[in-house]
Structure 1
Amino acid sequence: MALRHAVLAALLDGEYSGYQLAKAFDIGVANFWHALPQQLYMELARLEKDGLVAGRQVIQETRPNKRLFHVTDAGRAELERFAADVSKPSFIRDDLLVKVQAADRIGTEPVIEQLEERASAAEAKIELLGNLLRQFRGDMGEEEYLRTGERVGPYLTCLRGLAFEEGHRDWCLRIANVLRERRTTRAER
């Protein structure tokens, strides 16, 4: 998937400035796509040049002027084309897994520390995503929201992010404990 498709999908909810888009990415898109603000600004410029988004200047008296972007009909058509393409299976590329694989030979303490740090970071994301899901639902229960909510796509991707972070946290804690126990067992021999 190209960044362009993630930007187009984020802009389906309305007009955003580059700054607002970066904030939207941090909150709702970061669980499945990471992009730096500079990348988003460059992608907006490319999308506008390609006619997939349109921007308009907003004059502000007390702040610098800003540009707001929205998806054009051509942008929607591009997203429809992208949605029809067969998705490739996902894969994991994570430097921490390389360290875990080598932990028996290189020492476990720094790896255990990194696993615990990742588990803590995942816990923070779990809380953030849980709050976001509650905001989406408002007063509705989850099943009701899934059946009748106004915009279910962002909710579904947030559910995937939550499941990923919960699984990641649980795995990191388990592997940290396994490595710690192995170190203790070897020291006792």
Structure 2
Amino acid sequence: MALRDAVMAALLEGEASGYDLAKGFDASVANFWTATPQQLYRELDRMEREGLVTAQVIRQERRPDKRLFSLTEAGYAALHAYSAEPIGRPAAIRDGLLVKVQCADVGDIAAVRADVSERMEWARAKLARYERLRQRLLQGRTEDEHLAHADRVGPYLTLLRGIAFEEENIRWGETALRVLTARSAPATP
């Protein structure tokens, strides 16, 4: 998947400025795709040149002009074509923390435990954000009601995947901490 596909998926929520997209990226597709604001702006410019999005310039006093982006027919067609393509192999995990854990037996176990604990705190913070987003998406409905009647279910389904991922990070972290703590405890005769 390319960044442009993730940007177009985010634009399905409606017209947005580059700033709004950068800010809202965390609330819409960040549970499965990340990008810096600079990457988003470069991609929006490229997508505009390719005719996938159009930008409406909004004049502002005391601020630079704002461009509001929206999908064009070509953008919708590109998303449709993307959704029909086979994905191929799943993405590989590339995580420096796992490299540290892999060599924990010969490394500084206390430092590795601290890194695992920090990762768990990140996961808990993301879960809290995801839960707030979940409540906004549900708008007082049950999950079943939302899935049966919402205009779009994709955002909720990807949110569920993000929640499951962070919950698993916490479960794994608890196991890793328990094992690393037990292994670093002084041996009793």
Same fold at TM > 0.5: yes
SS at match of 1:106: coil
Counterpart CA distance in 2 for 1:181 and 1:4 is 46
| 1:35 match | 35
* Alignment partners' CA distance in 1, 2:149 and 2:62: 41
- Give the aligned CA root-mean-square deviation in angstroms: 1.2
List gaps (5 residues or longer) in structure 1.
Answer: none
TM-score, structure 1 normalization? 0.95
* Distance in 2 (alpha carbons) for counterparts of 1:79 and 1:151: 15
Which one has a larger percent helix, Structure 1 or Structure 2?
A: 1
Q: Which amino acid aligns with 1:153?
A: G
Counterpart-to-counterpart distance in 2, 1:124 and 1:61: 37
Unaligned runs of 5+ in 2: none
Aligned length: 188
Name the % identity: 49
Question: Matched residues in 2 for 1:29 and 1:187: separation?
Answer: 47
- Report the Cα distance in structure 2 between the residues aligned to 1:113 and 1:132, rounded to whole angstroms: 29
Q: Deviations over 1:7-52 (max 9, x none)?
A: 0111111111000000111122111101000000000000001111
Question: What are the within-5 Å matches in structure 2 for residues 62-101 of structure 1?
Answer: 62-88=62-88, 89-101=90-102
Determine the C-alpha separation between the residues in 1 that align with 2:4 and 2:142.
Answer: 33
Q: Could you tell me how far apart the structure 2 residues matched to 1:188 and 1:109 are?
A: 19
Aligned positions of 1:155-174 closer than 5 A: 155-174=156-175
The answer for the alignment partner of 2:47 in structure 1 is 47
What's the TM-score, normalizing by structure 2? 0.95
Please tell me the residue identity of whatever aligns with 2:155.
P
